[in-house]
A and B are shown apart, each in its own frame.
Chain A
Amino acid sequence: MVCTLLMTAPLGAAVASGQTLDPEALRQEIEQLRQELAEVQRQYGERLSALEARLETAVVPAAAAPVPSSATSKVFNPDIAVVGNFLGTAGQNTVSPGPALEMAESEVSFQAIVDPYARADFFMAFGEEGVDLEEGFLTFPAIPGGLLVKVGKMRAAFGKVNTLHTHAVPWSDRPLIVNNLMGGEEGLSDAGISASRLISNPWIFLEATGQVYRGDSGDVFQSNTRGDLSYLGRLRGYRDLSDDTNVDLGVSYALGHNAAGVVDDVDVGRYRTALWGVDATVRWRPLRQTSYRTFLGRSELVWSRRDEFGGLQSAFGYYVSGDYQLARRWFAGARYDRADRATDGLRDRGQSLLLTFWPSEFSQIRSQYRRITYGEGPTANELLFQVQFSIGTHGAHPF
């Protein structure tokens, strides 16, 4: 192959310009090239034999740690994964009807270590019609002072369910509190800076988080001037009760400007919304049968206090859920929901039953029976059917 290239390239050049040369000069040139080639071949032959001899005498170290050659070329590429989410809905819902079948939202992730000081995580949500940056942030894990700092667009650290990606929640939908009190389907998510620190003490894991965001998050917060930032604080406590059982508790607070005072794009009211949240999780996972039995019980309570023209609008909501693993591939769950709506005070109630089958770690098939009694009066009875699947290398989720 090398020889062919060596021969054809100069010959081609010679032929291209050789129409004006006389044949004798061309012959001489070819002869000269032949000699040069023979010399190159001889030199390479010698070097090859020397290398072979050295190889024979060389001791192969036991510590050889080969890397698959196909991987070396893309070794610095970020880990890429796609999580598909197909959702089917049957039954009656006159208040908030969803489509019968949809490829709801596919998450594409890119994750890599940036340099010795930071790592980056990007999650894009590909809907059927558009793309949205779900999260895209840089994490500095080794900052002095024991701080863990993140900058970028993030799901706010308000409670538990708000931080989870769609494929990581144990239901086909999100609880009513997310829609009614936390800014709609996506929950609290904005561009900002986050810093968190462990508070060392001899008893429990205690973590304090402070976040500052631009102030635009669903329909909860809206910033009209550069100073309309939103702020979030969270305190999380965790303790192992045994190797198998643990408790996770959190208190969250968020404050930001809302859109209640905006008239013709001018914020005449300067109103604010404050959110309080309390969350509690109990996990049981017997270590001897981690693949067969788990239980996760969780509840989150959210209080919203929204200033508006008419005064203070208070709203409250919560959910309680339980998920139990019946067998290696089967999970059953239930959830009770109740949530006032932040703006009009109407109260919705919901109940759900779920059954999930995991063909493997990388795919799951879920069905959910959901009954919601809306504040306006009507009741919706729906059956949700969801297929989720993951390809590529998706980074592990935080606990």
Chain B
Amino acid sequence: MKISASIIAAATAVVLAGTSGNAQSKLNVVTSTEDLASIARDVGGDRVSVTALARGYQDPHFVDPKPSFMLAMNRANLYIAVGRDLEIGWLPPLVTSSRNARVQLGATGYLDASLNVRILEIPTGQITRAMGDVHPLGNPHYWLDPGNGRLIAQAIRDRLTTLSPDNRAYFVQRYDDFDRRLAAAEKRWDATMAPYKGAKVVTYHNSWPNFMERFGLEVIGYVEPKPGIPPSPAHTIALIDEMKRGDVKLIVVEPYFSLRTPEAIAGQVPGGTVLILAPSVGGVKEATDYIQLFEYNVNLLAGALKQATGK
């Protein structure tokens, strides 16, 4: 009798545990990157549970489509992709084998975050792989402009509302709050960066056009000779000459690239400095969310530019 009672209790507990997840009715949101996850958390609040697949300190072009990601996508109500072919090498097999009709391309649960943002460097002429690993749909690192962050948040707000119309007011209020905080932060960042308008920098990969344009900096060259092609001696020498001629001192590097060549270049340029900026939330431990990502990058960059320019 005792045994059967405990079996019933255990079975009830299991059934309840199984149903309690549904009872909360949180939307399961899975995103390609931590930036999108951060914005989704800002807008979705406690009505969503968000998982990012790629880590912020990882090169988002090269992510292994692990089966554990498949499990996450299997349970997703909404998948948010960076788009512009950034995930071309890993996302399609995950979507196909997720066994989740909600997140297939074209379904309401699949959101390409790039569709209503400002994209730079969309090729206008013929492109070939002789140019390296170029992105035919434009530069996919668009989230590094806070203005685009706002547009991404709008798209997420609208899609969450479609998926969960009862929470419309909540998502709108959360978005408005995010928008206000972002606007206030933008004023601060603009003031910090104002003295350095027009300053020139070099970056490792072409990940920063949106960021640099937003804050008025000019990228004069890349450590990579072409996108996705590792540094070559000839290109490195030419870059050192160019930096010397233009009095360029800063080399911005993503945390997932080797520092060897950038440091060698910095050693050859008077006042040369290598700066590891976070290209994504989680890229460095200080970049804990989307606003902190810019906070960290702007402060680090302004500090280095102050030293370099004496302003």
The reply on A197 being an interface residue by CB < 8 A is: yes
B66 and A238 form a contact (CB under 8 A): yes
Contact, CB under 8 Å: B88 / A396: yes
Q: Report A-chain residues with C-beta under 8 Å of the C-beta of B115.
A: 63, 65
Measured between C-beta atoms, what is the minimum distance from A9 to chain B in Å? 34
B65 x A141 contact (CB < 8 A): no
The 5 closest A-B pairs by CB, nearest first: A142-B101, A63-B116, A205-B67, A238-B67, A287-B58
Complex Cα spacing A243 to B71, Å = 15
B63: chain A residues within 8 A (beta carbon): 290
Chain A residues 278 to 307 lying within 8 A of chain B, measured CB to CB, are 283, 285, 287-292
B255 near A142: Cβ-Cβ < 8 Å:
no
Residues from chain A with Cβ under 8 Å of B97 in the complex = 141, 148, 398
In the assembled complex, B195 has its CB within 8 A of some CB on chain A: no
Asked if B104 lies at the interface with its beta carbon under 8 angstroms from chain A, I say: yes
Contact yes or no, B133 A205, CB < 8 A: no
Task: Please report the total number of B residues contacting A with Cβ < 8 Å.
Answer: 54
Complex contacts, A62 vs chain B, CB 8 Å: 116, 118, 151
For residue B96, CB closer than 8 A to chain A, the reply is yes
Residues of chain A contacted by B67 (CB below 8 angstroms): 205, 207, 236, 238, 248, 399
CA distance A45 to B258 in the complex (A): 61
CB distance from A248 to the nearest CB of B (A): 8
Q: Is the CB of B136 within 8 A of A68?
A: yes
B183 interfacial by beta-carbon distance below 8 Å: no
B230 within 8 A of A: yes
CB of B256 within 8 A of CB of A291, answer: yes
B254 CB, nearest partner CB in chain A, Å: 10
Q: Knowing A62-B118, A396-B92 touch, does A290 contact B59 (C-beta < 8 A)?
A: yes
Main secondary structure of the interface of B (DSSP, over half): loop
* Contact of A361 (CB < 8 Å), options: B92, B124, B133, B258: B133
> Within B53-99, which residues are at the interface with A (CB < 8 Å)?
55, 57-59, 62-68, 70-71, 74, 88-93, 95-99
**B119 contacts partner chain A, Cβ-Cβ < 8 Å:** yes
Residue of B nearest to A142 (CB): B101
Interface size on A, as a range, is: 35 or more
| Option from B65, B101, B117 in Cβ contact (under 8 Å) with A399 | B65
| Of A119, A141, A246, A328, the contact of B258 (CB 8 Å cutoff) | A328
- The distance from the CB of A242 to the nearest CB of chain B, in whole angstroms, is 11
Residues on the A chain within 8 Å of B92, using CB: 395-396
B residues contacting A by CB (< 8 A) are 55, 57-59, 62-68, 70-71, 74, 88-93, 95-101, 104-107, 114-119, 122-124, 126, 129, 132-133, 136-137, 151, 228-230, 255-258
* A179 vs B71: C-alpha distance when bound (angstroms): 35
- Considering only residues 155-185 of chain A, those with a C-beta below 8 Å from chain B are none
Q: Does residue A360 face the partner (Cβ distance < 8 Å to B)? A: yes
Closest residue of chain A to B84 (Cβ to Cβ) is A65
Taking beta carbons and an 8 Å cutoff, which residues of A are in contact with B?
Answer: 62-63, 65-66, 68, 70-71, 113, 116, 119, 139, 141-144, 146-148, 197-198, 205, 207, 236, 238-240, 243, 246, 248, 283, 285, 287-292, 328-329, 360-362, 391, 395-399
The CA-CA distance from A288 to B56 in the complex, in Å, is 9
A116, B104: Cβ atoms closer than 8 Å: yes
Q: Which residue of A lies closest to B75 (CB)?
A: A200
Answer whether A291 and B65 are a contact pair too, CB < 8 Å, given A71-B136, A141-B97, A396-B92. no
Secondary structure of the A contact surface, majority rule:
mixed
Selected A-B contacts with CB under 8 Å, 26 pairs = A63-B117, A65-B115, A65-B116, A68-B123, A68-B124, A68-B136, A113-B105, A139-B96, A148-B96, A148-B99, A197-B99, A198-B99, A205-B68, A205-B70, A205-B71, A207-B67, A239-B68, A248-B67, A287-B57, A290-B58, A291-B62, A291-B256, A360-B229, A396-B88, A396-B93, A399-B93
> B97: nearest residue on chain A (CB-CB)?
A148
B15 to chain A, nearest CB (A): 15
Query: Whole-angstrom distance between the alpha carbons of A62 and B228 in the complex?
Result: 30
CA distance A290 to B60 in the complex (A): 10
Contact between chains at B256 and A288 (CB < 8 Å): yes
Chain B residues with CB under 8 Å of A143's CB are 99
Which chain A positions have C-beta within 8 A of B65? 396, 398-399
Cα of A11 to Cα of B305 in the assembled complex, Å: 72
A288 pairs with B68, CB closer than 8 A: no
Q: How far is the CA of A119 from the CA of B104 in the complex (A)?
A: 11
Q: Are A68 and B99 in contact (CB under 8 A)?
A: no
* Identity of the chain B residue whose Cβ is nearest the Cβ of A399 in the assembled complex: B65
Given A65-B115, A207-B67, decide whether A141 and B98 contact each other with a Cβ distance below 8 A.
yes
The answer for the CA separation of A113 and B117 in the assembled complex, in Å, is 25
B257 near A141: Cβ-Cβ < 8 Å? no
Closest Cβ of chain A: how far from B111's Cβ, in Å?
Answer: 14
Additional pairs, 14, CB under 8 Å, beyond known A63-B116, A148-B99, A207-B67:
A65-B119, A68-B122, A113-B105, A142-B100, A142-B101, A146-B74, A197-B99, A238-B68, A243-B55, A288-B255, A289-B258, A291-B62, A399-B65, A399-B93
